[in-house]
Homo-oligomer: A and B are copies of this chain.
Amino acid sequence: MNPAEIEETAILLKALGEFNRLSLVCKLCECKTPQNAMCLCECCSVDASVVSRHLKTLTQAGILKLEKKGRERSYSLDRVNVAKELRSLAAKIEASDLAAA
């Protein structure tokens, strides 16, 4: 892993590594359909503006996908991407055991 890859991965993990943000992700985990910010506010007891900022952070990190329709903005988990990134890191950590041997 080169520095650029490390940095990119760190951004993803950092975005996930905060309680309220991870709560939002878990909430979206259980949702079949995209959810708007108002609905997501319920899962963590902070101001709507805070949720808005967390959702932005998660979106920028490639964790959520945003869909605008009217005055609502619906967020959904980018399940494929996040799972791929996490598994990729898991594989590196585990498999290099063999590579180094």
A7: CB under 8 A from chain B?
yes
- A contact patch SS: helix
Residues of B within 8 A of A74 (CB): none
Copy number in the complex reads: 2
Contact B101 A79 (CB under 8 A): no
Contact A17 B19 (CB under 8 A): no
Closest to A21 in B: B10
Contact with B along A80-93 (1 / 0, CB 8 A): 10110011011111
List the interface of chain A (C-beta within 8 A of B): 1, 3, 6-7, 9-19, 22-23, 25-26, 29-32, 77, 79-80, 82-83, 86-87, 89-94, 96-97, 99-101
